Amino acid sequence: MRPIRVILPFTLALAPAFLWAESGTPSLGYAGVNSGVASDHGGQNCSTCHSTYGPANSDPSGSLTVTVGDYNPGVTQTIRIIVQHPSADRWGFQLAIREVSDETLSAGSFGLALPSDPVQVICDDGSQYGSASCNTSPRQFAEHRSAPRGGAGTAYEFDVVWNPPSQEVGRLDVYIAAVAANGDGTAAGDRVYTFKKTISNIGACSVGKKPTLQTVLNGASFQGAFSSKAMVSIFGLGFQASGYTRTAGLGDFVNGAFPTALGCVSVQVTGPGIPQPVLLPVSYVQQDQINAQMPQFTGTGPVSLQVIENPGGPNQLMSDVATLNAMQPLAPAFFLFQPSKSIAALLAGTAQIIADPTVVPGARAARPGDIISLYATGFGDTNPGVGPGQLASGQAPLTNPVIVTIGNTTLSPSQIQYAGLTPGSISGLYQFNVQVPLGTPNGAIPVSISINGVTTQSGTTIPVQQ
């Protein structure tokens, strides 16, 4: 990550005057977005330079009024930005719209309402002022051009045409910073006002073909064993348009939980021990695959499952019913780096992937003595319990003990540092922080975990290299 661009106090006297003037071309990235990207300046806005009256919105005699509504994918709307102050006669603004699920990404594109409007579209190319070329940039801004003048005491309106994404991408954040300037050619004596609004998709889901359901498998092992709250993968056809994928993120969460409708798709289950009917939390959708989490239930089924397109709409379409007979109290399984048998693992407390680098570029093998984190599903109850689709806010250890074997060694309790839900993740994802035994030889070493006599899928390994 590049360092955030800042101007230190001892450099102010040497700063070129154009940095502080009422600029016809404002510096990029001061709309108030706090994305973690260096060019967004940590959420700073125009008051970073126009600071005579303190932070943005400090002077109540002026105002910023914005007209922007919830979006219908692919349907253009005009965003109206009106800034006013009784002593101002020059005006400016900067606008950004980002995906709540990933604020580093712009949502849709901007355009001009009229060619003569004092508005321009600029994209982040890493430079101070950006570029009019937006072919490769993931971040786009609309802003003033030539800092237009208006009569003192009157309001000024900027109109920006916004073309939302062609398909829904969850909730979006609209950021605007506006300057009501006094027209003296410097940043002194100007007021800054900011606006932020989160908007949602209101477009009707319009899938026109009944989805085809082919098979349902354990989401980690891709085998046919399921349990309460385990992750599952549903395979078929017609779940999404070809090439389009949707991953649930912060913009999709409802009351802090994964959504039960994602990308115009829901999954419904019914069966013994399950309140009738139940919609599953959905984490991912593509044309031929849905990843979801089973509900909490007792018993062993059978359970009926259906995929629903356009859920809740008059054009709702339901797949044929799949009957899941392989329900069991526990269905422990490791997630793998497909298509290998290498277990999804990290060096504990880091982002370093443990895998053969020919399978995952940038990964490395575990070393004897390392503490590694293994990821799995289907291990059952924890304390505290966390409901389906909910995020584990902290550690939630398993209520039943586990037996971990690495190579020919069964780990001692001291070598199992944690066994439970992954903090901050969906409640179907389990994490095991374990120590690789000191005597482990080099190679692809078998690993298994058993709970209440049920063991993870066979053949799974981690690479070890001394």
Rounded distance between C-alpha atoms, residue 72 and residue 243, angstroms: 20
Say whether 212-324 and 9-199 share the same fold: yes
Rounded distance between C-alpha atoms, residue 241 and residue 250, angstroms: 23
Domain regions of the chain by residue span? 9-199, 212-324, 333-464
Rounded distance between C-alpha atoms, residue 37 and residue 41, angstroms: 7
| Contact between residue 97 and residue 175 where contact means Cβ atoms under 8 Å apart | yes
For the CA atoms of the chain, what is the radius of gyration? 27
3-class DSSP state for residue 54?
A: coil
State residue 135's pLDDT score.
Answer: 74
Dump pLDDT digits (tens) for 193-227: 999 999 988 877 878 889 999 999 999 999 988 89
3-class DSSP state for residue 134?
A: coil
Q: What is the mean pLDDT of each run of 10 residues along the chain (466 residues)?
A: 26 31 72 93 92 93 95 93 93 95 93 92 90 84 89 86 90 96 87 95 82 95 91 94 86 90 93 85 95 87 90 91 88 94 95 94 96 97 95 94 97 97 95 97 97 96 95
The beta strands (E) that lie in 251-338 are given as 265-271, 274-279, 282-286, 289-293, 303-309, 317-318, 322-324, 333-334
The dihedral through the CA atoms of 386, 462, 344, 2 has a sign that is positive
> What pTM was estimated for this model as a whole?
0.77
Looking at the domain 9-199, which fold is it?
Immunoglobulin-like (2.60.40)
CATH of 212-324, one of 2.40.10, 2.40.50, 3.30.70, 2.60.40: 2.60.40
**Residue 152 backbone zone (phi > 0: left; psi -120 to 50: alpha; other: beta):** beta
Rounded distance between C-alpha atoms, residue 94 and residue 33, angstroms: 11
Partner residues linked to 233 by β-bridges: 217, 291
For residue 334, which of 442, 414, 219 has the smallest C-alpha distance? 219
Rounded distance between C-alpha atoms, residue 128 and residue 28, angstroms: 6
- Residue 65 burial by CB count (10 A; 0-12/13-18/19+): exposed, middle or buried? middle
State residue 23's pLDDT score.
Answer: 54
| Contact between residue 426 and residue 411 where contact means Cβ atoms under 8 Å apart | no
